[in-house]
Amino acid sequence: MKLRGRAWKFGPDIDTDRIIPARYLNTSDPKELAKHCMEDADPEFAKKVQPGDIIVAGKNFGCGSSREHAPIAIKAAGVSCVIAKSFARIFFRNAFNTGLPILECEEAVEGIDQGDEVEVDLGKGEIRNITKGLTFKARPIPPFMESLLKAGGLMEWVKQRLEVGGR
Amino acid sequence: MGMTITEKILADHAGRKEVFPGDLIQARVDIALGNDITAPIAIGQFRRIGAREVFDRERVVLVPDHFTPNKDIKSAEQCKVLRDFAREQGIIHYFEGGEIGIEHALLPEQGIVVPGDLVIGADSHTCTYGALGAFATGVGSTDLAAAMVTGEAWFKVPESMKFVYYGKLGEWVSGKDLILYTIGDIGVDGALYRAMEFTGETIRDLSMDSRFALCNMAIEAGAKNGIIAPDEVTEGYVRGRAKRPYRLYRSDEDASYVDVREYDVSRIEPQVAFPHLPENTRGISEVGRIEIDQVVIGSCTNGRIEDLRIAARVLKGNRVAPYVRLIIIPATPLIYHQAMEEGLFEIFLEAKAVISPPTCGPCLGGHMGILAKGERAVATTNRNFVGRMGHPDSEVYLANPAVAAASAVKGYIAHPEEVVKEV
């Protein structure tokens, strides 16, 4: 699957409070959450983000709380993929569980600037900076995570297992 | 080769003799926890795949503690989702009204989590239970939903880091300061994906309340879990509370660690973490004069009875500085009751503090003490991210309860010795 959009660049340690502040967690409606996505990191983001756009961030993206509202908000805002130097572990799980593609690649983060046109080939783990004519290879997705993705997410995987087990 | 306590607990729950860091395992969970923010999504997922029953109604725990007492209509609706589900499923450990406490103080206190458990919670501070010698880690709502159905969860076995603390703690130094100091040393991703094992003579002498505070903030270093091997202090706490039989694990002598760090705690003074990351720590002597508007003493980190006692010791006979608000939040109804009986409330009220019902409330900028633009707070909570306690242009400084109480009295970040006149 290929994804394409403009890059939105963020720094290191973007916490889940900045991705979706707790003051908006009195709902889990994706559309409502999307309106406030990244609000405390860039108040203009939710207004200006276009479908397909890509978040590019430094290390430890999604640190802090376990709120699944964070990947839900990013996905509902139209973001097609997050590329970061590294991800906090709960966010990493949550992204897979909610179907938000994420890729780890230090070189890509260094080689992409705000507004660059970026294309991602998820199957190959390839990131292309079209504006600058650069190509990067992301860290491969762990095989187990890939099997979850293939099943259509964790709950579908659970459902399939339950059906097999007759429970 | 030997195993760490984390590896042993994971191996036993996966039905294996041994596991190694990097192994992917499917493990049985003893407790699966959700709150009023995370459980509604989990319940939605549970229903979406057509699940009918939770795997065990004694092991799925629901605590509506974040936006309770319901702060607005939407929060009330979220709590209702939990209530309806708890009623339908006959959830044993569902808490309502005056039973509600902050989940990570409540579950150990009520003996719902016991040593040797494997616990997942849709709340990042689930790692608190490591203080009991349990493997406990935060997950998202979908992971919780899967566990509610199957009673299992998948894990990558983490590498372990060992933290050895030795020496005698200074008078106003607690578990909170040890973890702030440690995070200051290794950074907010210094233990990313790893287990933090806290050991050493200082830990053996540490009270349970201090141990909970220590393990509570392992997530603030990016860790999967924080853990302390159970000893007689743990057993003393668990005895009479445990709702289930428990098992005491400890690391083998020849267990392997990716990193071992040693700290002489006699050199650690009370710590303050500056905005906007918990790693921005300084010793109190290096803080300088920072005027404040609000102080919060509470949360799953420092809302326990020992914390309130220390705060009372500092506040006794003193009064909160003009134009400063002090909000004290006992973490559970039992702690609330205990603080009242011990006369702590009288001290708090005379100092002109607000005593809040148990709630996560202001810690995450929910309610019960939100900051305006440009305001500064000292809090005994666990996070000082941008906008964490309110306006994106407000600031949170993390500290222990003694420093927080002293700061409330002085109106600026203060050492407890500035306030308490020793007899």
Strand order across the beta sheet in which A102-104 lies? A102-104, A81-84, A54-57, A2-9, A117-121, A126-129, A134-137
Q: Which two tokens stand for residue B91?
A: 């959830």
Q: Are residues B224 and B112 in the same domain?
A: yes
Q: State the Cα–Cα distance between residues A24 and B51, nearest whole angstrom.
A: 29
Domain boundary (B193, B228, B263) is at: B263
- Asked if A89 and B224 count as a contact pair (C-beta separation under 8 A), the reply is yes
pLDDT for A166 equals 53
Q: Using a CB-CB distance cutoff of 8 angstroms, which residues of chain B are in contact with residue A17?
A: 364-365, 383, 385-388
Q: Are residues B46 and B176 in the same domain?
A: yes
Q: State the Cα–Cα distance between residues B239 and B112, nearest whole angstrom.
A: 12
Task: Decide if A151 touches B, using CB distance below 8 A.
Answer: no
Q: State the Cα–Cα distance between residues B251 and B255, nearest whole angstrom.
A: 6
Across all residues in chain A, what is the average pLDDT?
A: 94
Q: Which two tokens stand for residue B26?
A: 């499917």
Contact across the interface for A144 and B44, Cβ inside 8 Å: no
């207004």: which residue's tokens? Answer: A47
- Asked if A129 and A112 count as a contact pair (C-beta separation under 8 A), the reply is yes
Length of chain B: 423
- Asked if A141 and A121 count as a contact pair (C-beta separation under 8 A), the reply is no
Residues 60 through 99 of chain A touching chain B, CB cutoff 8 Å: 60, 63-69, 72, 86, 88-90, 93-94, 97-98
Q: State the Cα–Cα distance between residues B149 and B51, nearest whole angstrom.
A: 7
Residue of B nearest to A32 (CA): B74
* DSSP states of B302-355: H-SHHHHHHHHHHHTT--PPTT-EEEE--SSHHHHHHHHHTTHHHHHHHTT-EE
pLDDT digits (tens, 9 = 90+) for A88-101: 999 999 999 998 99
Q: What is the ipTM of this complex?
A: 0.95
Q: Which two tokens stand for residue B324?
A: 């400063």
pLDDT digits (tens, 9 = 90+) for A53-75: 999 999 999 999 999 999 999 99
Q: Which two tokens stand for residue B76?
A: 């009330």
Q: Are residues B333 and B230 in the same domain?
A: no
pLDDT for A167 equals 47
* DSSP states of A55-115: EEE-SSBTBS---THHHHHHHHTT--EEEES-B-HHHHHHHHHHT--EEE-HHHHHT--TT
pLDDT by position in tens, chain B (length 423): 899 999 999 999 999 999 999 999 999 999 999 999 999 999 999 999 999 999 999 999 999 999 999 999 999 999 999 999 999 999 999 999 999 999 999 999 999 999 999 999 999 999 999 999 999 999 999 999 999 999 999 999 999 999 999 999 999 999 999 999 999 999 999 999 999 999 999 999 999 999 999 999 999 999 999 999 999 999 999 999 999 999 999 999 999 999 999 999 999 999 999 999 999 999 999 999 999 999 999 999 999 999 999 999 999 999 999 999 999 999 999 999 999 999 999 999 999 999 999 999 999 999 999 999 999 999 999 999 999 999 999 999 999 999 999 999 999 999 999 999 755
Q: Are residues B188 and B142 in the same domain?
A: yes
Give the CB-side neighbour count of residue B256, counting CA atoms within 13 A. 7
Which residue of A63, A72, A156 to mutate against B (max B Cβ within 10 Å)? Answer: A63
Domain boundary (B215, B240, B263) is at: B263
pLDDT for A143 equals 82
Domain boundary (B236, B263, B290) is at: B263
pLDDT for A8 equals 98
Task: Decide if B192 touches A, using CB distance below 8 A.
Answer: yes
Other C-beta atoms closer than 10 Å to the C-beta of A22 total 26
* Buried/exposed B138-161: b ≥16 CB within 10 Å, e otherwise: bbbbbbbbbbbbbbbbbbbbbbbb
Contact across the interface for A89 and B37, Cβ inside 8 Å: no
pLDDT for A142 equals 81
Q: Using a CB-CB distance cutoff of 8 angstroms, which residues of chain A are in contact with residue B392?
A: 21, 39-40
Other C-beta atoms closer than 10 Å to the C-beta of B296 total 29
Q: Are residues B242 and B286 in the same domain?
A: no
Q: Are residues B64 and B189 in the same domain?
A: yes
Q: Using a CB-CB distance cutoff of 8 angstroms, which residues of chain B are in contact with residue A69?
A: 37, 41
Amino acid at residue number B124: S
Question: What percentage of residues in chain B have a pLDDT greater than 90?
Answer: 99
Q: Using a CB-CB distance cutoff of 8 angstroms, which residues of chain A are in contact with residue B74?
A: 26-27
Task: Decide if B139 touches A, using CB distance below 8 A.
Answer: yes
Contact across the interface for A155 and B142, Cβ inside 8 Å: yes
Q: State the Cα–Cα distance between residues B114 and B409, nearest whole angstrom.
A: 38
Q: Are residues B249 and B395 in the same domain?
A: no
Contact across the interface for B37 and A67, Cβ inside 8 Å: yes
Q: State the Cα–Cα distance between residues B402 and B408, nearest whole angstrom.
A: 10
Query: Within chain B, what is the greatest distance between any pair of CA atoms?
Result: 66
Q: Are residues B139 and B247 in the same domain?
A: yes
* DSSP states of B156-177: EPPPEEEEEEESPPPTT--HHH
Residues paired with residue A6 on neighbouring β-strands, in sequence order: A117
Q: Are residues B298 and B183 in the same domain?
A: no
Other C-beta atoms closer than 10 Å to the C-beta of B334 total 16
Containing H/E element for A147?
helix A143-151
Q: Using a CB-CB distance cutoff of 8 angstroms, which residues of chain B are in contact with residue A39?
A: 392
pLDDT digits (tens, 9 = 90+) for A114-138: 999 999 998 899 999 999 999 999 9
Contact across the interface for B387 and A21, Cβ inside 8 Å: yes
Q: What is the CA radius of gyration of chain A?
A: 16
Q: State the Cα–Cα distance between residues B365 and B377, nearest whole angstrom.
A: 12
pLDDT digits (tens, 9 = 90+) for A1-45: 899 999 999 999 999 999 999 999 999 999 999 999 999 999 999
Give the CB-side neighbour count of residue B231, counting CA atoms within 13 A. 17
Q: Using a CB-CB distance cutoff of 8 angstroms, which residues of chain B are in contact with residue A159?
A: 49-50
Beta carbons within 8 Å of B185's beta carbon, 6+ residues apart: B261, B263
In chain B, how many domains are there? 2
CATH number at residue B335: 3.30.499.10
pLDDT digits (tens, 9 = 90+) for B79-138: 999 999 999 999 999 999 999 999 999 999 999 999 999 999 999 999 999 999 999 999
Distance from CA of B119 to the nearest CA of A (A): 15
Amino acid at residue number A147: S
Q: Are residues B60 and B100 in the same domain?
A: yes
Which residue of B49, B68, B128, B381 to mutate against A (max A Cβ within 10 Å)? Answer: B49
Task: Record the pTM.
Answer: 0.97
Task: Decide if A139 touches B, using CB distance below 8 A.
Answer: no
Strand order across the beta sheet in which B354-355 lies? B281-283, B271-273, B395-398, B376-379, B294-297, B325-328, B354-355
């992971």: which residue's tokens? Answer: B143
Q: Are residues B371 and B233 in the same domain?
A: no
Containing domain of residue B162, as a range? 5-263
- Identify the DSSP state of B291: B
Q: Are residues B82 and B229 in the same domain?
A: yes
pLDDT for B422 equals 58
- Asked if B68 and B99 count as a contact pair (C-beta separation under 8 A), the reply is no
Output the CA torsion A74→B26→B39→A15 (10° steps).
-40
